[in-house]
Amino acid sequence: MTEHGLAKAARVNDHSWRFLSVLATSVLATLAGLAGLTASAQIAQPKAPAGQPATPLAVERASAGDSLDDPRPLATDLSPALTNAAIRKAAQKVADWQLARAEPLFNQQWTYAALYDGLLAASETTGNPRYHDAVVKMAEHFDWELLDARFPHADDMALGRSYMDLYLETHEPVRVADTKAILDRLVVRPDDPDKLLWWWCDALFMAPPVLARMSAATGDRRYLDYMDREWWQTSASLYDPAEHLYFRDSRYLTQKEKNGQKIFWSRGNGWVMGAFAKVLEVMPKDYSSREKYITQYKEMADKIAAIQGRDGLWRSGLLDPDAYDLPEVSGTAFFTYSLAWGINHGILDRAKFEPVVERAWAGMLAHIYADGRLGSIQPIDGQPGKFKPSASYVYGVGGFLLAASELDALAQNAPPTTRPRITGISHVGYFVSDLPRAIAFWHDFLGFDESYDLRKDSSEDVHIAFIKISDHQHVELFNEAPTHPPNMMSHVCFTVDDIEQMRAYLRSRGFNLKPGNGNKTRAGDYAFEIKDPEGTLVEFVQSLPTGMEAQAAGKFIPAARISTGIYHVGFLVGDSEKSMGFYRDVLGFKEIWRGSSTPNELSWINMQVPDGSDYVEFMLYSKLPPTFGSRNHISLVVPDTQKAIAVLESRPAYKAYGKQLEMHVGTNGKRQVNLYDPDGTRVELMEPKTVDGKAVASSTAPLPTQR
């Protein structure tokens, strides 16, 4: 060994023992619980030369994270909305928790190198310099040096990414001198024909980004050319051109999952995807093989998007998700980081991949605990495995913070989200206490057919009966007790022409909505629900040609039906200002009329859908009434109220109905008659035009005073 090498080895010894002394107490306390853990990826790697220390496996594990037997409460204060404020809040919560726990254990291992990348990104994302300053303090403590006991092992070069990023801030030579010296030795090292340099796919995240950054910083293409040669040797050995995924190492080329699929490790492929982002962001646009990287990156991105779980996350084994109980957050984090980076840099199509990263982000937030712990991270390993929900390790947190950084940029660069068209009332739902009687009211008395129904889980009992009003409108009768008695109204639903655009639009307006994933309702359409300011459940639906409603087009429309369409839906509103803020300012509804039953107080506000003629009627109140049935109502349009009454009175079911039908002219100047279903919910029949053909002026009465 040269004199320089001996001196460096002495320094490494000194740093290693300083590190070990800090960890001694925590390691002794955790060794017993570590004995049963799966063997680390490091076991298969070359041993350190005689006389040169390598960090013991147990120390590496103990410093990297832990798994609690008794998970703490999950966070309830985070929003999955892709807004800068929401993303930064989540990033800061996780970064604060991790920094408090990890800073006393900072070391030069690959595990922490990923965390340092994330902390630097977190400072840029949140504007809080303390994460950045903690990494600088760490680098100064270790004299800006890498581990060098296992040269040319890629893991020991991973810390160079942060050193290089910090060097580019100040261009102080000390920050990069040791890294450059090691890379200078690396690029002149001849390949070993019997052993691939980067024989495990994780290595592509550890060393190549350091080489690419050194090339960009110095202008010396030797580093990039060396990286390029070694990358494609690893790719030729481990990349599966059929599956568009990397095997972790050659041991898995012939092994299979329980379902017979090939074994592809989530975090291993996450490392590779992260490497693409780190390398391509500094690779010159005219570099000869750049397009080759982009082609493989896009192939992997397409595959990863295609196998995303319904919860937005990926399992430890990518092609046999059912074999793994929990989603794996570290692989998910690096996938999210890389895909968001690709969108931000114009390599990946935003329309295709933004929903993927939105779902992934929302899924990861569901694994953040109240104190900021990020869980469901697989411990150190080299293959798919199982772990506890609370498992939290620094490299996974690093990936999460990198993902937050790119998502924050994505949110800043987001094009304005426009509201899709809201074309009308699709349906309204009501709870009923006696489904046969309710169906008899709608069918035998009003003349509508039941077009289809949905059964209760594991039962032949009907859960929801669908009463068809027209090909595009229906009433849903819920065979269950009301959720908020005495309110028998379940929800109101509006038709939109793009469900995912509606979801994205509402998120852009600050609503806490999880991204959609193309799931259909049991009726076969795309839909989601939110609550308006009064707590009324509002659903949006995009009808599909394969849905039950579309399949029933032209059917179940008897000549006996008393009406051809829903005119409006009315429901109680106590705070008209908040409701106007939602329906008018957010959804784009237009106020078309105000009415009063007395000159002293306003009674109704009619709000029309922005892209159709249907409307909702705010039933204003100063004091919540004891019963809701006469206020929460549905209005069906009829051309002639008097004729409609005559038709109903001629039907055999009228005798069972047992109430007198009285026509009257409403305050709005239109003839109407009120009917009531067996639970007292009002069904109003109304003519579309006023009696004299003249519009009735809106009331100027004041809003009700809340009591």
Q: Six-digit token pair at 677?
A: 């279903």
Sign for the pseudo-dihedral over CA of 349, 353, 354, 357? negative
State how far the Cα of 440 lies from the Cα of 304, in Å rounded to an integer.
51
Q: For residue 645, which phi and psi values (nearest 5 degrees)?
A: -65, -45
**Helix (H), strand (E), coil (C) string for 477-526:** EECCCCCECCECEEEEEEEECCHHHHHHHHHHCCCCCCCCCCCECCCCCE
State how far the Cα of 62 lies from the Cα of 56, in Å rounded to an integer.
10
Among 334, 312, 368, 690, which residue's Cα sits nearest to residue 516?
312
Q: Which strand (E) or helix (H) includes residue 143?
A: none
Q: Which residue has the tokens 């400072």?
A: 123
State how far the Cα of 114 lies from the Cα of 432, in Å rounded to an integer.
57
Among 99, 101, 161, which residue's Cα sits nearest to residue 133?
99
Q: Six-digit token pair at 574?
A: 């106590």
Among 286, 392, 280, which residue's Cα sits nearest to residue 339?
280
- CB contact at 8 A, 489 and 681: yes
Q: Which residue has the tokens 């639906």?
A: 541
- CB contact at 8 A, 614 and 600: no
Q: Indicate if 202 belongs to the active site.
A: yes
Selected catalytic residue, list 117, 156, 165, 202? 202
Note the Cα 529 to chain centre separation in Å: 16
- The torsion defined by the Cα of 502, 503, 506 and 510, in degrees rounded to 10, comes to -160
Q: Is 396 exposed, middle or buried (0-12, 13-18, 19+ CB in 10 A)?
A: buried
Exposure string of 612-627, with b = 16+ CB inside 10 Å and e = fewer, is: eebbbbbbbbeeeeee
State how far the Cα of 248 lies from the Cα of 84, in Å rounded to an integer.
35
Among 120, 86, 113, 119, which residue's Cα sits nearest to residue 100?
119
Q: Are strands 489-496 and 422-431 parallel, antiparallel or unpaired?
A: antiparallel
Q: Measured between alpha carbons, how far is residue 452 from residues 169, 466, 522 in Å?
A: 66, 6, 12
Task: Give the list of residues 6+ apart from residue 188 with CB closer than 8 angstroms, or none.
Answer: none
State how far the Cα of 87 lies from the Cα of 336, in Å rounded to an integer.
13
State how far the Cα of 272 lies from the Cα of 348, in Å rounded to an integer.
16
Note the Cα 579 to chain centre separation in Å: 27
Q: Six-digit token pair at 460?
A: 């032949």
Distance linking the first and last C-alpha atoms of the chain:
88
Query: What amino acid is encoded at 669 in this protein?
Result: G
Q: Are strands 566-573 and 633-637 parallel, antiparallel or unpaired?
A: antiparallel
- Which residues is 317 bridged to in the sheet? 265
How many residues does the structure list for the chain?
707
- CB contact at 8 A, 475 and 634: yes
DSSP 584: I
* 361 three-class SS: helix
State how far the Cα of 46 lies from the Cα of 43, in Å rounded to an integer.
8
* 605 three-class SS: strand
Query: Which active-site residues does the annotation give?
Result: 202
